[in-house]
Structure 1
Amino acid sequence: MLLKIVYITALVGIAAAAVTKKDRVIDHKLSDKTPGSPDYDSEAFLGAEEAKSFKDLSDEETLKRLGTIVNKIDKDENGEITEEELVAWILFTQRRYITEDAEKQFSTHDKDKDGKIHWDEYKEVTYGFLNDESIQQQEQDSFSYQQMLERDNRRWKKADQDGDMACSLEEFQAFLHPEEYEHMKDIVSQETMEDIDKDKDGFVSLKEYIGDMYNPDEGGEEPEWVETERQQFTEFRDKNKDGKMDLEEVKQWILPDDYNHAEAEAKHLIYESDDDKDGMLSKEEILNHHDKFVGSQVTDWGDALTRHDEF
């Protein structure tokens, strides 16, 4: 039964569980590297996972494969890469892992192979092993499959934008990774509130906020960061200074308004590589500044080039 619980938890992909215990903030930075560094630029341009394996190519092979990538980015095939095209590519590479995860799970859940996952199909695959006895036992153990099912159903309805109780691949992707979609952000905030609001009064108190990150019952000296988080709560999280966070304040905490990382990176790459200062990048300009796009190490472009990704 424990293995089944682990399986379901992983499958549901609740956004609040996707972040570490000490930090629920969903950060859409393009890389963990220093912004503006070659490694940051390459991870932003290629995606972090692909960038890790890009090494040991000759200069000739690097330029050849980079040229192929440029051709993919140039959607209108006019020989110039605009800021919009570069932003679209960066977002594509950053979301690739999400798409792959959704595609894998989609094939498992789409039992009738009609190109959609109906709610009943999802429910059967995810919760079909449950029976009255297992549900009753888990309720006694303070773990509620019924609550999980209701939470999934609520998220499903939000992701199902056309209201047919069936998810296309894109809708299923939003269901699995709601933090990546604007229309799903209220669900992410609501689920986070439900996780932290232990007394169910509709607010997050300072005690609940700290308790989500640190359990004093574990013993030992309190880490310094706990006091810092208390100050963060008082000075920044609780914006209306009523001693607690409401749903909107929770949303601003975990999904902070931030500048567009992809747009900022595209502007940076163009600024650094646009030799004729026309606001766009030619293939020649990108190849001349290939170090800005592949980082400090030349890399293996094979995965990005040979896979049949839609872009």
Structure 2
Amino acid sequence: MLLKTLVSLCVLAAAAFAVPAQEKRVHHHGDLSERPHDDAQGFQYDHEAFLGKEEAKTFDQLTPEESKDKLAKIVERIDVDGDGYVSHAELHSWIRHRQRRYIQENVDKHWKEYDSNGDGKIAWDEYKNTTYGYYLGEEFDDVDDKATYKSMLTRDERRFRTADRDGDMIATREEFTAFLHPEEYDYMKDVVVQETVEDIDKNADGKINIDEYIGDMFTPEDGEREPDWVTTEKKHFAEFRDANKDGYLDAAEVADWVLPGEVDHADNEAKHLIHETDTDKDGRLTLSELLDNLDSIKSSTITDYGGMRADEHDEL
């Protein structure tokens, strides 16, 4: 049952990602990776940015020689002008391609689940019935946390209605993409902010206080010492997040936090990878430089965003 799977994933995600707010809540366009971008903790973010999430897993299982052969094929595709170098522009373009590919493949996967009548569109009833199934007939009486399921249904319907621009409650592919990836669409940003506030605002006053902000990231066990990053986050809340200094985050301040404007994360990742692997500091990369820094590359989204396969069948 998709409903049980959905709830289980929510619970697991909450348990697994007890991390600083900027890593948990901030919505990046076409996320490069769910991993923290901190080289001190390893290069997995870069690995998934260069390779893509699924291909990154594949690389981890290859022998060194197989990894080099596969990387050479990928670099050949990134080097569009064929001059033997990977420029910043080529790397940036490739990472953006992997982002778009990830979103397309993610939508493809869900489309097959929800377009039950095969008409090339997804009606709200199709989504609702596939996700919540027979529980709807019982009004969730058979589930333990009835209020949570009802809240999830209400939230899904609100997001679906917002994504459905023509108001017919039947999603085209573009509208369904907006439903699944609202951070990619300007007209969905209010929904992203509203959902964030609802998640964190425990006293339901429509704004987020410092305790709710920290509580979303960290709940200490008895006697547990507060980590240093919590102190840093409290400072961030007071000095940066709470722009009007009223002690709360309102919707506009939450938007500034979780939807950070026009930051181009693909561009930043391209610059980061060049900085880390450009041995001769000429501002471009050779295959030799990339192979010499295979650990960094094997931890980037360049090589596998959305299950990328570096062969002649994978079109740019």
With the length of structure 1 as denominator, give the TM-score of the two structures. Answer: 0.71
Look up the equivalent residue of 2:267 and give its one-letter code.
Answer: E
Alignment of 1:93-112 (within 5 A): 93-94=98-99, 96-112=101-117
Offset, 1:190: 0.8
Q: What residue number does 1:9 align with? A: 7
- Per-residue Cα deviation, 1:114-151 (whole angstroms, up to 9, x for no partner): 2221212111111231245443576x956143332221
Which one scores higher on RCO, CA 8 angstroms, separation ≥ 6? 2
| Distance of 1:19 and 1:52 partners within structure 2 | 19
Distance change >3 Å, CA 62–CA 18, structure 1 → 2: same
Structure 1 position 263 matched with structure 2 position 260: no
Kept in 1, the 8 Å contact 2:242–2:253? The answer is yes
Deviations 1:239-293 (A, max 9, x none): 1101111011122223334742311333466687699x7x8x7xxx743544278
Aligned counterpart, 1:47 = 52
Structure 1 residue 194: Cα displacement: 1.0
Per-residue deviation, 1:298: 8.2
Q: 2:92, 2:267 within 8 Å by CA — same for their partners in 1?
A: yes
> Could you tell me how far 1:46 is from its partner in structure 2?
1.3
Structure 1: 5+ residue stretches without partners: none
2:202 corresponds to which of 195, 198, 202:
198
Tell me how far 1:197 sits from its aligned partner.
1.8
Kept in 2: contact 1:62–1:298 (CA 8 A)? no
| Match of residue 56 from structure 1 | 63
The question of whether the paired residues in 2 share the 8 Å contact of 1:42 and 1:294 is answered with no
Question: Relative to 1, partners in 2 of residues 1:244 and 1:267: Cα closer, same or farther, differing over 3 Å?
Answer: closer
Equivalent pairs: percent with the same residue? 45
Counterpart contact for 1:57–1:298, Cα < 8 Å: no
Structure 1 residues 232 and 71 mapped into 2: Cα distance closer, same or farther (>3 Å)? Answer: closer
Give the secondary structure class of the aligned counterpart of 1:202.
Answer: coil
2:154 is paired with a residue of what secondary structure?
helix
Alignment check: 8 A CA contact 1:42 1:292 kept: no
CA 231–68 in structure 1, closer or farther in 2 if over 3 Å, else same: closer
Q: Quote the Cα distance in structure 1 between the aligned partners of 2:73 and 2:166.
A: 37
- Further displaced range: 237-246 or 219-228: 219-228
Q: Could you say if the C-alpha distance between residues 294 and 156 of structure 1 is closer, same or farther in structure 2, counting changes exceeding 3 Å?
A: farther
3-state SS in 2 of match to 1:130: helix
Asked if structure 2 preserves the Cα contact closer than 8 Å seen for 1:203 and 1:247, the reply is yes
Q: Does 1:187 align with 2:191?
A: yes
Distance 1:137 1:90, change over 3 A: same
Separation in structure 1 between the aligned mates of residue 184 and residue 202 of structure 2, nearest angstrom: 26
| AA matched with 2:226 | P
Letter in 2 for 1:34: D
Structure 1 counterpart of 2:17, which letter?
A: T
Structure 2 CA distance, aligned partners of 1:73 and 1:157?
39
2:171 is equivalent to residue 167 of structure 1: yes
CA–CA distance in structure 1, aligned partners of residues 298 and 234 of structure 2: 45
- Show the counterpart of 1:154: 158
Contact 2:56 2:298 in 1 (8 A): no
From 237, 249, 252, the equivalent of 2:253 is: 249
Within the alignment, does 1:223 sit opposite 2:229 as a pair? no
The amino acid that maps onto 1:223 is E
Aligned counterpart, 2:129: 124
The verdict on how the C-alpha distance between 1:142 and 1:205 changes in structure 2, with shifts beyond 3 A counting, is farther
CA deviation vs aligned residue, 1:79-136 (integer Å, no higher than 9, x gap): 4676555323212334655544432221111111122212121111112312454435
Shift of 1:191: 0.3
Give the corresponding residue for 2:26.
26
Contact kept, 8 Å, 1:45 with 1:90, in 2: the verdict is: yes
Q: Tell me how far 1:167 sits from its aligned partner.
A: 2.9
Q: Is the 8 A contact 2:44 2:298 kept in 1?
A: no
Does residue 209 (structure 1) correspond to residue 213 (structure 2)? The answer is yes
